Amino acid sequence: MKLPVKMTINGQTTSHEVEPRLLLVHYIRENVGLTGTHVGCDTSQCGACTILMNGQAVKACNLFAVQADGASIQTIEGLAKNGELHPIQQGFWEKHGLQCGFCTPGMIMAACQLLERYPTPTEEQIRHQLEGNLCRCTGYHNIVKAIQWAAETMAAKK
């Protein structure tokens, strides 16, 4: 039996009738058409599907869309404003924080929460907070630098 779900994604309200077993990540990608959120391992380990739900980083492959009924969701598509990259996105650009880019949306969404909880993070804090996001290209070195760049930039703007 299908159930109605309604949520706000990047500020826009969406509503659909879905099967309860539909995963949130497939809802976002296929029903709403926002394909920036990736499906990687599909076992809640790699973090490629990380989004913000009510301000908290969660793995969208490990949630059913019906669990997100009424929630406010933010995906990678909602970060840039008026054609200007978010400082975290800009940091990944400046510090070459990616190679293939597959893990990048999840990395950036995880970094959003990281910098909200730890606005001036140590390198150790960054690495600990990224434990749920796997990158198979870069060895994380430049990802850490990108987030440090973003932290400094965001602090300077305040």
Partner 1 sequence: MYPAAFEYHAPASVREALGLLGQYKDDAKLLAGGHSLVPMMKLRLAQPKHLIDLKKIPGLSYIKEDGGAIAIGAMTTHWQVESSALLKQKCPVLSETAAVIGDPAVRNLGTIGGSLAHADPAADMPATIIAHGAEFVCEGPKGRRTVKVDDWFLGLMSTAVKEDELLVEVRVPLWAGKTGGAYLKFPHPASRFAVVGAAAVVTLDGAGKCTKAGVGITGAGIKAVRARDVEAGLVGKNLDQATIEAAAAKAAEGVDVQADLQGSVEYKSHLCRVFARRALEAAVKRARG
User: Judged by CB, which is closer to partner 1: 75, or 133?
Assistant: 133
**Tokens, residue 58:** 């969660």
Strands 3-9 and 72-74, bridge-based pairing:
parallel
**Tokens, residue 151:** 């932290």
**Shortest spacing between CB 122 and partner 1, in angstroms:** 15
**Tokens, residue 6:** 């309604």
Q: Which residues bind partner 1 (CB under 8 A)?
A: 1, 3, 19-21, 23, 42-45, 47, 50, 56-59, 62-64, 66-67, 110, 113-114, 129, 131-133
Q: Which amino acid is at 26?
A: H
**Shortest spacing between CB 138 and partner 1, in angstroms:** 18
CA 97, 103, 105, 108 torsion-angle sign: negative
Of residues 88, 128, 132, 141, the one with CA closest to residue 112: 88
User: Judged by CB, which is closer to partner 1: 42, or 94?
Assistant: 42
**Shortest spacing between CB 53 and partner 1, in angstroms:** 8
User: Judged by CB, which is closer to partner 1: 57, or 150?
Assistant: 57
DSSP SS3 for 63: coil
User: Judged by CB, which is closer to partner 1: 23, or 28?
Assistant: 23
